[in-house]
Structure 1
Amino acid sequence: MSVSPTLQSYLNRGDIPYRLIRHPYTETSLSTAISAHVPARRMAKGVVLRDDEGFMMAVVPSDRRVDLQAINRQMGRVFSPAAQKDVRILFRDCNKGAVPALGQAYNLKVIWDDHLASEPDCYMEAGDHQDLLCISQSTFKKVMSENPHGMISH
């Protein structure tokens, strides 16, 4: 599949530079980082959250876990993880478990972890289990600039 059509359209519309890296098939973002020889702290994973108002994506390094309490405090809302069936509907052009960490491409609000800002580049699923999208730190900060951020992982 390579880059999901929705993500590809978002990247093209925004004239966002990226590299695509092929790697052996993996199921999790952490195993993808290992397989692609990418430091896990540079591999961003998107975790879809839900509350009464709708869905949102938290973007954190693959070697960390989402801190729901920190997100809820910062956003003034009460989120919980979204059901897998909802994630499959939201990301229908992606393989199950290969959600790109650019939720804004799918019209989701995004909150991202500050740990990602200090890395020289950022890797993320491209929509399948064999391709990684790589963007520079400056590009990452630019595409995330309108989104809230903070220490939202542990």
Structure 2
Amino acid sequence: MSVSPTLQKFLNRGDIPYRLIRHPYAETSLSSAIAAHVPARRMAKGVVLRDDEGFMMAVVPSDRRVDLHAINRQMGRIFSPAAQRDVKILFRDCNRGAVPALGQAYNIPVIWDDHLADEPDCYMEAGDHQDLLCFSQSTFKQVMSEKPHGMISH
């Protein structure tokens, strides 16, 4: 599949520069980082959350876990992880478990972890289990510039 059609359209529309990295098949963002020889702290994973108002994506390094308490406090809401059936519907053009960490491409609000801003580049799933997108630090910050962020992982 390579880059999901929705994500490709978002990247093209925004004229967002990236590199596509092919790697051996891997099921999770952490195993994709390992397969692609990418430091796990540079691999962003998107975790879909839900509350009564709708969905949100938390973007955190693949070697860390989402801190729901920190997100809920910062956003003034009470999120919990979204059900897999909801994720499958929201990201219908992606393989299960290969959700790109760019919720905004799918009209899903995003909150991202400040740890990702410290890295020279950022990698994320492209929508399948064999391709990663690689963004420079400046491109990643530009794409996330108007999104809320903070220390939302542990």
TM-score by length of 2: 1.00
The SS at the match of 2:65 is: coil
The SS at the match of 1:70 is: helix
2:52 aligned partner? 52
Alpha-carbon distance in structure 2 between the residues aligned to 1:51 and 1:31:
29
The 5-angstrom pairing of residues 44-83 of structure 1 reads: 44-83=44-83
2:97 aligned partner? 97
1:13 corresponds to which letter in structure 2? R
Alpha-carbon distance in structure 2 between the residues aligned to 1:16 and 1:95:
23
Between Structure 1 and Structure 2, how many residues are aligned?
A: 154
Q: 1:105 offset after TM fit, Å? A: 0.1
Alpha-carbon distance in structure 2 between the residues aligned to 1:34 and 1:92:
26
2:115 aligned partner? 115
Alpha-carbon distance in structure 1 between the residues aligned to 2:117 and 2:88:
28
Q: 1:74 offset after TM fit, Å? A: 0.1
Alpha-carbon distance in structure 1 between the residues aligned to 2:75 and 2:122:
24
Q: 1:114 offset after TM fit, Å? A: 0.1
Q: In the TM superposition, what whole-angstrom CA distance separates every residue of 1:51-71 from its partner, at most 9, and x where no partner exists? A: 000000000000000000000
Identity percentage over the alignment? Answer: 90
Aligned-residue CA RMSD in angstroms?
A: 0.3
The SS at the match of 1:145 is: coil
The 5-angstrom pairing of residues 4-153 of structure 1 reads: 4-153=4-153
Write out the 4+ residue segments of structure 1 that deviate beyond 2 Å after TM superposition: none
Q: 1:94 offset after TM fit, Å? A: 0.1
Where do 5+ consecutive residues of structure 2 fail to align? Answer: none
2:148 corresponds to which letter in structure 1? P
Alpha-carbon distance in structure 1 between the residues aligned to 2:29 and 2:16:
22
Q: 1:129 offset after TM fit, Å? A: 0.1
The SS at the match of 2:11 is: helix
Q: 1:90 offset after TM fit, Å? A: 0.2
The SS at the match of 1:73 is: helix
Where do 5+ consecutive residues of structure 1 fail to align? Answer: none
1:75 corresponds to which letter in structure 2? M
TM-score by length of 1: 1.00
Alpha-carbon distance in structure 2 between the residues aligned to 1:126 and 1:136:
16
